[in-house]
Structure 1
Amino acid sequence: METVRAAERALMARLPEGALMQRAAAGLAAACAQVLGRVYGSRVVLLVGSGDNGGDTLYAGARLARRGAGVTAVLLTPERTHKGGLAALRRAGGRALSERSDVAEELIDRADLVVDGIVGIGGKGGLRPDAARLASLAARSYAAVVAVDLPSGVEADSGEVRGDAVRADLTVTFGTHKPALLVDPAREHAGTVRLVDIGLDLPEEAELEALQHADVAALLPMPTARSDKYRRGVVGIAAGSARYPGAAVLAVAGALRGGAGAVRYVGPAGSAVIARFPETLVSDRGPAKAGQVQAWVVGPGAGDDASSVAQVLEAEVPVLVDADGLRLADRDAVRGRSAPTLMTPHAGEAAALLGVSREEVEGGRLTAVRELAARYGATVLLKGSTTLVADPGGGPVRVNATGTPWLATAGSGDVLSGLSGSLLAAGLPARDAGSVAAYLHGLAGRYAADGGPVGAHDVANAIPQAWRDVRD
């Protein structure tokens, strides 16, 4: 967040005093008005801490009060409240009281809108007890909750939530998206996020990146008139077992729907794969003798087939390691590879690889994905409600949130592995292959589910629809 603070200081030095805060307050007030629909006669409660975050909130409240809203500021630290903002609110007809007031609870309970201006990007740890009590009252009320810059109580830099935190319906953030608004578990507290441009001059390289349709469209491999199945990319799939043949079928489905020119399958589930996808090239001779491929996917449903994992890691082509492959892969073998490696763990698998608890990974996903990438010398795609992709050499972490909770279904990750492998075979770098695959996989999940339950095979079948949507 120091980058944001430096940009704010530089801009404030060029602007008249208070101008930057007025820009933020204007954007915040406009967003609050949209939430309310009808401002005149509405009841608004501001939860106000100290510093500039509280000042933004008070100035926005003054704008709403001038439009006829009944605005009350509940001050958590009256002696350190932004004086200019408080004076503006009172001039506009608003009022202020201490959080210890007997009527604070009643005001929140009857409010149409509660604005969280308790702490800003400098807050650390969870909310203090008095602030946590107000946040709990707001969560139990019928009021819409709007957070200022980010929900109070979350960690701005990491997306961690280390105690009580506000749960917002809308977060109005200024200048740029903060990591906490993109990375779980903090993202779950943010609700819908609205960015207000206040004129910050930020460096081009950020801590996080979130691809959009145009970015993904530019990366998608498209066949040309000269293309044949080999030029489009051949992906090898070493997956499945007698116990889990479906994992092989779903990984092959993801690869075929992901644009691979051909798929070579190696493993004990060949009959199941051929029955579902007769175009698959099946071999029972092991990865080393399966024929030429441009990339390998190893691990989904593989059981204890350590031999296939070792053979794939020796190949001089990009390799994706998933599921059982993560458990069986030797770290030194991964680190010693000259070709790119993409690892795709979920939180439990990442915890096992790092030697920590699952709760620690889920609570600090950004830290976990960076640590895994550095430790294994590989690109890591950490699966979850927000997917994170990190390179071993550092740089911005890619964040993807196109998915849906309906994607939390058996076999969904196998489809993602096959899709990612097909993009590796088409020549995309590991970071791009993982990011694009996560984006398409999330969209396909949304299209397949359409608000209802979905199976992994439905997700695979919806990948071409997601692809067309991005391209169009």
Structure 2
Amino acid sequence: MPIGTEILTTAQMRATESAAMASGRVSGAALMERAGRAVAGQIRLRWPRPGRVTVLCGPGNNGGDGYVIARRLHQAGWRVRVLGLDNAPGPDAEAMRRQWLAIGPILPLTEQALRDGPDSDVHVDAIFGTGLTRPPEGEIATILRHLGDSRFRDGLVAVDCPSGLCMDSGAMLGWPRGTAEHAPAARLTVAFDSPKPGHLLEQGPILCGQLVIADIGLREWREGQGAGIRLGCLWPAFDIADGRCQPVPAVVRAGLDKGRTRHGHKFSHGHALVIAGGPGRGGAARLSARAALRAGAGLVTLCPPDAAMAEHAQPPDALMRRPMDGAEDLTALLTDRRISGLCLGPGCGIDRAAVLLPALLASRRPCVLDADALTALATHPALAGALHEACVLTPHAGEFGRLFPDIAERLQSGSDDPAAMRGPAFSRLDAAREAAARAGAIVLLKGPDTVIAAPDGRAMIHSAFDLPWLATAGAGDVLAGLVAGLLARGLPALRATGLATWLHGQAARRLGPGLTADDLPEALPAVLRQSGL
């Protein structure tokens, strides 16, 4: 698998590095040299004229990388100032420290030393990297708050991650959960081999700035972990340092051919059913139905109550309409085995959704439960026992809290006493995985850092912090319809959900600020063409 198309937890990253060094074919010092060289190269790309740089080197291997960066930039003509400690605990970092001492001094790693020096064009944060699990303390905590001053942002480069950022959760250790005021925010972060969850979750995208993933030669050992890597990135919010184009995620490349045959007909491409609500509530369901059509379902039928049929007479004419008043109507309709995907919830009404849910779940058909269907499910928890692996739940944070209140509470825990945090924070990734395992269904936890999880632990992250204009009425209804259309085409639930999320984000990127939910389905043909799919 190419560099950057999967996400490694910190434990998996350590295991990859350990396997590489245990092979005898690469040393820790060699990996450190490659990492430092990669960061120095990225700095020189953005600041082509040598200037002043201050490199802050911490007590571990991240600090060792910093000494390599300092040496490399010195060799390129930069005026380098290094702040560090009296020694480095590991032999590789200590060797890099001694190499720098043959060139120049190491000043104390203190806030006063940082303040006393001349202004620098670039500050390199090589204090703490991927493995940090507790809040920084003492002098280093003071330094980090000083680096959080906005005047540093345009020239702050982080090695692995801004110091203090938990790479498994995206929480800033020592800061209240969900905030990062006065935390160091980088213009550029250079990480190695693969992104980590914390680069894409919570505060990670805000604090990392531009994220670059540099290849330091670990691919063979990363891929040797095989099934141990169960987390994918749907839209990499990072650049690949060797200059290759961003890969279309594997879930997309493998997904869109499903159900498309040269000699097929509309039923071989699936039949999606979108259940609408009563009079005056049909807009959300029509958005979902239009999206299911654009997702490639061969047929899409919109099913409002008989009293609301007239308001669904307008285009698109490709939509079929059929009245559905109660559970008996749904059960009768599902005797048609060609119906291969359903969407229940957008504009449906909570009471109507609660009436229809038992028949829908009893059918075991692939389905999306969104909006009012999720509220009905939370209101009638006994229905949760009928969920199955072909169900996709699409909650936003509020709906997630109603469905899984104890998990949501854990997600918010630690906010009142961040300094007491020990170990990685419980993350949105953890929350989605736990919820999916409990429900026995796919959970799509919506947000700018959308997480999709399956009951078996497989998961994907879609980072959409670059899409604030996607937070608009009806966008979630479009996403639900995309999932339903892809389910109808026969894609497995996890793959359909990942592909729908990717298409949804790409359509929003193409449209840009000012989009409305009505625009999203119409942008999909161009997204598919542009992606070569």
* TM-score normalised by length of structure 2: 0.81
Is residue 2:357 matched to residue 1:348? no
Taking structure 1 as reference, are residues 246 and 158 closer, same or farther at Cα in structure 2, changes over 3 Å only?
same
**Cα deviations by residue, 1:382-439 (Å, 9 ceiling, x for unpaired):** 1111221111122x31122366221111100000000110000000000000000000
Taking structure 1 as reference, are residues 465 and 270 closer, same or farther at Cα in structure 2, changes over 3 Å only?
farther
Q: Which moved more, 1:163-172 or 1:340-349?
A: 163-172
Question: Match for residue 459 of structure 2?
Answer: 397
Question: Match for residue 300 of structure 1?
Answer: 346
Is residue 2:500 matched to residue 1:465? no
Question: Match for residue 255 of structure 2?
Answer: 219
Higher RCO, Cα 8 Å, sep 6+: 2
Distance 1:17 1:372 in 2: 39
Question: Match for residue 167 of structure 1?
Answer: 185
Taking structure 1 as reference, are residues 388 and 223 closer, same or farther at Cα in structure 2, changes over 3 Å only?
same
Distance 1:72 1:273 in 2: 69
Is residue 2:233 matched to residue 1:210? yes
Give the aligned length: 464
Is residue 2:30 matched to residue 1:19? yes
What is the CA-CA distance between 1:229 and the residue it aligns to?
Answer: 1.7
State how 1:211-250 maps to structure 2 within 5 Å: 211=234, 212-213=247-248, 215=250, 216-220=252-256, 221=258, 223-242=260-279, 244-250=281-287
CA contact (8 A) 2:111 2:142 kept: no
Q: Which moved more, 1:272-281 or 1:367-376?
A: 272-281
Question: Match for residue 486 of structure 2?
Answer: 423
Question: Match for residue 319 of structure 1?
Answer: 367
What is the CA-CA distance between 1:153 and the residue it aligns to?
Answer: 1.2
* TM-score normalised by length of structure 1: 0.91
Question: Match for residue 296 of structure 2?
Answer: 259
Question: Match for residue 124 of structure 1?
Answer: 133
Q: Which moved more, 1:297-306 or 1:49-58?
A: 297-306
**Cα deviations by residue, 1:285-341 (Å, 9 ceiling, x for unpaired):** 343334531111101122222112333222231011011111112454344345611
CA contact (8 A) 1:105 1:137 kept: no
Q: Given the alignment, which residue of 436, 441, 445 partners 2:504?
A: 441
The SS at the match of 1:18 is helix
What is the CA-CA distance between 1:55 and the residue it aligns to?
Answer: 0.6
Distance 2:449 2:324 in 1: 38
Q: Which moved more, 1:372-381 or 1:127-136?
A: 127-136
Distance 1:47 1:319 in 2: 52
Taking structure 1 as reference, are residues 339 and 9 closer, same or farther at Cα in structure 2, changes over 3 Å only?
closer
Q: Given the alignment, which residue of 61, 81, 87 partners 1:72?
A: 81
The SS at the match of 1:380 is strand
Taking structure 1 as reference, are residues 167 and 249 closer, same or farther at Cα in structure 2, changes over 3 Å only?
same
Distance 1:360 1:107 in 2: 43
Q: % of aligned pairs identical?
A: 33
CA contact (8 A) 2:111 2:146 kept: no
CA contact (8 A) 1:255 1:421 kept: yes
- Which runs of no fewer than 5 residues in structure 2 stay unpaired? 1-9, 176-182, 235-246, 413-425
The SS at the match of 1:454 is coil
Aligned residue type for 2:157: V
What is the CA-CA distance between 1:80 and the residue it aligns to?
Answer: 4.4
Distance 2:136 2:368 in 1: 41
Aligned residue type for 1:312: L
Q: RMSD over aligned Cα, in angstroms?
A: 2.5
What is the CA-CA distance between 1:371 and the residue it aligns to?
Answer: 1.3
Q: Which 4+ residue blocks in structure 1 deviate beyond 6 angstroms?
A: none
What is the CA-CA distance between 1:23 and the residue it aligns to?
Answer: 1.5
Distance 2:475 2:107 in 1: 52
Aligned residue type for 1:249: R
